[in-house]
Amino acid sequence: MRKVSKRANERRTSVARKVVTSRSQAFYAVPKLSRRIHVVAPLSADEIREVLNISKADLDAARRAIKATE
Amino acid sequence: MATRQPYDHSVFLNIPFDVTYEPVFLAIIVSLVAIGRAPRCVLEIPSQGRNRLDRILQLMMDCKVSVHDLSRIGTPARFNMPFELGIAYALRTLKPESEHLFVILENKPHSLASVISDMRAYDPIAHENKPLRAISAVLDSLGPSKGFSAQEVHSLWKRLGRASRKLKREAGAKSVFTRTVFNKVVAAATEVVRSANTSL
């Protein structure tokens, strides 16, 4: 069996401890992997307007406001 | 399985109508539109003599999901938002076929634990009144695994903010919490998201 000096052994232990520490920190730091409660195929912008009954006048006003503030 | 019914895509917003809350409100609106969902709010419905609570209940029943922001229930005490969360809970429990789902937002992490501990099991998400945090909360709970990142939605939020200020000025309104401005702001959100999608 290879003889390992006391100092080298301490160094290896210290490295191992650091790894363990960072893993445990990662375990506690990372929140839940997913909070997702519901998934649906996304609607397009046009479909969303249809669902919300957005009038052409409102859409035109919105477009003008966006253009004026770009 | 993914479906494309308005009910499934409609998200009811139970939020404080407070001018200082506007940035977070706009962040929630643009996030929902960015993930292809329709933000619904009691503001969109003309009262037509109907009780506000009746309108809220009807609208909530038309939505599969509701978002309840309880970040401003402190002093002075505001009971509307917790009350409406109670309606959502009752809807989910007493009308299981509705499969109603809800997301609870809070200000600081665990701040609701002391005032409405019954809801602790539903994992409220803290946004700390920061639009980017609110965007992340919406994307995390309702977004698809692919799509806009929170930072991308944040840049859409900035564009929407500029447009909404102009829309408010044009309407002579102090906030976006009026029917006229709200409808135009949602229209602007769809337009901002559409242009971002086409430029991808």
- ipTM confidence score: 0.87
Listing DSSP states for B126-166 in one string gives E-TT-HHHHHHHHHHHH--SSS--HHHHHHHHHHHHHHHHH
Q: Please count the residue pairs, one from chain A and one from chain B, whose beta carbons lie less than 8 angstroms apart.
A: 119
**Average pLDDT over all residues of chain B:** 91
Q: Interior CA angle at B138 toward B133 and B140, to 5°?
A: 90
Q: How far is B184 from chain A (nearest CA, A)?
A: 5
Q: What pLDDT is stored for residue A28 in this prediction?
A: 42
Residues of B in contact with A37 (CB under 8 A): 65, 101, 103, 141-142
Give phi and psi for B190, each to the nearest 5. -65, -35
Give the best residue of A34, A43, A67 to mutate against chain B (max B CB count within 10 A). Answer: A43
Alpha helices in chain A (DSSP H): 6-29, 45-52, 56-68
Per-residue pLDDT reduced to its tens digit, B30-40: 999 999 999 99
Least confident of B82-96, B109-123, B126-140: B109-123
Query: In sequence order, which residues have a C-beta less than 8 Å from that of residue B187 and are 6 or more positions away?
Result: A49, A54, A58, A59, A61, A62
Residues of A in contact with B164 (CB under 8 A): 65
Give phi and psi for B60, each to the nearest 5. -65, -35
Per-residue pLDDT reduced to its tens digit, A3-40: 667 676 666 655 544 444 444 444 444 444 567 888 88
- The gap from C-alpha B67 to its chain's centroid, in whole angstroms, comes to 5
Is A29 in the B-facing interface, judged by CB distances under 8 Å? no
Cα–Cα separations (whole angstroms), residue B112 to A15, B79, B133: 41, 13, 17
Six-digit token string for B150: 């929170």
Query: In sequence order, which residues have a C-beta less than 8 Å from that of residue A49 and are 6 or more positions away?
Result: A59, B187, B190
Taking CA–CA distances from B123, the nearest residue in chain A reads: A35
pTM: 0.84
Interchain contact, B101 vs A38, CB within 8 Å: yes
Within 13 A of B130's CA, how many CA atoms are on the CB side?
Answer: 11
Q: How far is A35 from chain B (nearest CA, A)?
A: 5
Interchain contact, A59 vs B191, CB within 8 Å: yes
Interchain contact, A40 vs B37, CB within 8 Å: yes
Interchain contact, B193 vs A45, CB within 8 Å: yes
pLDDT score of B44 more than 90: no
Q: What pLDDT is stored for residue A21 in this prediction?
A: 47
Q: What pLDDT is stored for residue B46 in this prediction?
A: 78
- Rg of chain B in Å (alpha carbons): 16
Per-residue pLDDT reduced to its tens digit, B52-71: 888 899 999 999 999 999 99
Mean predicted confidence (pLDDT) in B72-85: 85
Interchain contact, B141 vs A35, CB within 8 Å: yes
